Structure 1
Amino acid sequence: MQVIDHLANIKDAGEGTAVALGNFDGVHLGHRDIFRTLVRRARELGVRSLVYTFDPHPLKVLAPERAPLLLNTAEEKVRLIAASNIDILACIPFSVALASCEAEDFVRDVLVGQLHIRALVIGYDFAFGRDRRGTGDFLRAQGEIYGFSVDVLQPVGMDGQPYSSSRVRELLAEGRVEAIPSLLGRHYTLAGKVVGGEKRGRTLGFPTANISTEKEQLPAAGVYAVIVRHKNTDYQGLVNIGCRPTYGPGATTIEVYLLDFSGDIYADELRLYFVARLREEKIFADSDALIAAIRQDVALGRELLKDAKIIQYQEYLSEDNTCAR
């Protein structure tokens, strides 16, 4: 997949493109439906598929106080979109000037003038341009003028709830990580480097690794059963997310305990896949009470993880069964 941050860098667009427009935060199952439709349209027309998205998220520029915490890092978003067999990802810097662009100008100058669009695919709730005039109805009318088709995909979901990034954030805020694969098609995951900590875990008999991550949206504070990937090997583990209130207030930390592992992993990268929440964060009377609780966590974690496997992003259009994690 070609990744560009400016349309001047695009290759081979002269024969036309099929385009999907959106923010695609989370790359959830609804987004994947858009990508499947996009790839199908591109193959039918014999053109390249292109996903047009923005960095940073528009609200981070227009209304930072309302901007959501993102579900994926920039690197994760690229890998997940690439796994859907997209030919080109245009990740365009977002600005106030871009937000004020008239919808008609964007269609004429960008979609038609630069991308030579033959087909457009958007979600039911997508709108763009000044005053968000670039709605599905507007784009269908523009397609009639300029000769491109427009697919406006209706909401898809389960149990009457559409797949949405907002719903994923709600579940994470509640600590309900076990419900996430039904929306994302994969376990919620974060990666980070092992950094120095206060080494309290060693004194308790449970040495932990402190993780520094670029992931914005963390699950709610608490203890979770996780699968931990280290250098292409998977381990069962527990992770505590929170401020360790037993020892007084402090900054939020991510502390991972690998079951049945010993070795030096300082400065290494770990990737955590969240399987289930064991409990919320608690204050314990003393170290003995904390140790007893950790032992219970380990026993429950082993039980929950004994048959657990990482649920990966799988794109069913892929001829070689491409995955992204």
Structure 2
Amino acid sequence: MRLVRHQVDLPHSELARGSVVTIGAYDGLHLGHTQLLDRVVKTARARGWPSIVMSFEPTPKEFFAAASPPARLMRFREKYEALADYGIDIFYCPRFDAAMRSIRADAFVRQILIHGLNARHIVVGDDFHFASRREGTIEHLRKASKALQFEVDQVPSIVVDGVRVSSTEIRDALADGNIGRATALLGRPYRMSGKVVKGRNVGRSLGYATANVDIRRRQSAVLGIFAVRVHGLPQGPLDGVASVGTRPTFDLCKPVLEVHLFDFDADIYGEYIHVDFLAHLRAEEKFSSVDELVAQMAIDAENARMALAAHPV
């Protein structure tokens, strides 16, 4: 999959015959997103055109709420890798700035979708809005399609337990510690990925060696203690207990992900791992003493083992 940041870098020769385009934040790649992507890839292959996902960096929500943006479900790298796995050909990710926020719907269609991407088939969800002040709608696209000769494919939302699947619903479920609901909306366990880096060795000194995962987030969609399963190591899937938070007992402020792997002792510094969250055990707490923390860690490990027994590999 090709990553393109600027319109001038688009492979216009590859787009000469047309393209199949979808537009959105695609944060989390939940069930609704995957339904859209399936339609995009299937249509693109049938027509012999490249498939394109257009997204923005930063996301519009981050741009408009710069002081307190919503937590991302996925880092940029995670999104890129997931889109590549789905068979998308081009990930077009221009910068969302003051100029982009001001572009009107007609100009967005003509300048970006048609002139830039040569879109001949556009796949959108049933809640799709675009351009300045979200003035662009599906009906706006349908009207423009007649004059500019492209097709609009509207894909209905996915509903789970009476609620429309969305990134916001997933964030809310994760914030509440409702891992089961988040898993149902995503269609898979919630995952955080990153490289194992050297930490302060606090866990090892307490008898619980941990892999410190560089999550590169200002804020995390999950906080607390969790039963997890780790993928990406040569030893295969490994079970463990993870802490995501600021380690209040040690007065840190930046969120960190630490994973204690059961029955495992190997040097995995530098490995890029994927941590699947399978059960929420408790909220993060500040303990009055290290001994109190160690006692709770033993309880957490036992509770994680019991929770993971309900999720066989």
TM-score by length of 2: 0.89
From 164, 174, 177, the counterpart of 1:172: 174
Distance in 1 of aligned mates of 2:6 and 2:93: 8
SS at match of 1:238: strand
**Could you tell me which residue of structure 2 aligns to residue 73 of structure 1?**
75
Question: Do structure 1's residue 146 and structure 2's residue 148 form an aligned pair?
Answer: yes
Q: Is the 8 A contact 2:230 2:240 kept in 1?
A: yes
1:9 maps to a residue whose letter is: D
Unaligned runs of 5+ in 2: none
Cα distance per residue 1:5-62 (max 9 Å; x no partner)? 1233333101011111112121111111111122233234332221111111123333
Evaluate the alpha carbon distance shift between residue 141 and residue 306 of structure 1 in structure 2; reply closer, same or farther with a 3 A threshold.
same
Question: Do structure 1's residue 5 and structure 2's residue 5 form an aligned pair?
Answer: yes
**Could you tell me which residue of structure 1 aligns to residue 283 of structure 2?**
280
How many equivalent pairs are there?
Answer: 309
1:51-62 mapped onto 2 (5 Å cutoff)? 51-62=53-64
SS at match of 1:65: coil
Q: Is the 8 A contact 1:29 1:163 kept in 2?
A: yes
Evaluate the alpha carbon distance shift between residue 230 and residue 32 of structure 1 in structure 2; reply closer, same or farther with a 3 A threshold.
closer
Evaluate the alpha carbon distance shift between residue 47 and residue 309 of structure 1 in structure 2; reply closer, same or farther with a 3 A threshold.
farther
**Could you tell me which residue of structure 1 aligns to residue 307 of structure 2?**
304
Evaluate the alpha carbon distance shift between residue 217 and residue 153 of structure 1 in structure 2; reply closer, same or farther with a 3 A threshold.
farther
Evaluate the alpha carbon distance shift between residue 66 and residue 104 of structure 1 in structure 2; reply closer, same or farther with a 3 A threshold.
farther
Superposed displacement of residue 77, structure 1: 0.7
Unaligned runs of 5+ in 1: 311-325
Superposed displacement of residue 284, structure 1: 4.1
Distance in 2 of aligned mates of 1:302 and 1:194: 22
Evaluate the alpha carbon distance shift between residue 283 and residue 22 of structure 1 in structure 2; reply closer, same or farther with a 3 A threshold.
closer
1:1-325 mapped onto 2 (5 Å cutoff)? 1-11=1-11, 12-65=14-67, 67-215=69-217, 218-229=220-231, 231-233=233-235, 234-245=237-248, 247=249, 249-251=251-253, 252-306=255-309, 308=311
Superposed displacement of residue 307, structure 1: 5.8
Which of 35-44 and 72-81 deviates more?
35-44
TM-score by length of 1: 0.86
Cα distance per residue 1:255-307 (max 9 Å; x no partner)? 22111011333444433111111122234454444333222222222222246
2:30 maps to a residue whose letter is: H
Q: Is the 8 A contact 2:50 2:89 kept in 1?
A: yes
Superposed displacement of residue 159, structure 1: 0.9
Superposed displacement of residue 219, structure 1: 4.5
2:212 maps to a residue whose letter is: N
2:230 maps to a residue whose letter is: V
Distance in 2 of aligned mates of 1:68 and 1:117: 30
Structure 1 runs (4+) deviating above 6 angstroms are none
Superposed displacement of residue 141, structure 1: 0.3
Q: Is the 8 A contact 1:143 1:149 kept in 2?
A: yes
Superposed displacement of residue 135, structure 1: 0.7
Q: Is the 8 A contact 2:52 2:88 kept in 1?
A: yes
Q: Is the 8 A contact 1:172 1:218 kept in 2?
A: no
Q: Is the 8 A contact 2:177 2:222 kept in 1?
A: yes
**Could you tell me which residue of structure 2 aligns to residue 315 of structure 1?**
none
SS at match of 2:28: coil
Identical pairs, percent: 35
Evaluate the alpha carbon distance shift between residue 243 and residue 38 of structure 1 in structure 2; reply closer, same or farther with a 3 A threshold.
closer
2:19 maps to a residue whose letter is: T
Evaluate the alpha carbon distance shift between residue 218 and residue 232 of structure 1 in structure 2; reply closer, same or farther with a 3 A threshold.
farther
Cα distance per residue 1:199-257 (max 9 Å; x no partner)? 33334322223333214552443211111235333221111223334x35432433221
**Could you tell me which residue of structure 2 aligns to residue 323 of structure 1?**
none
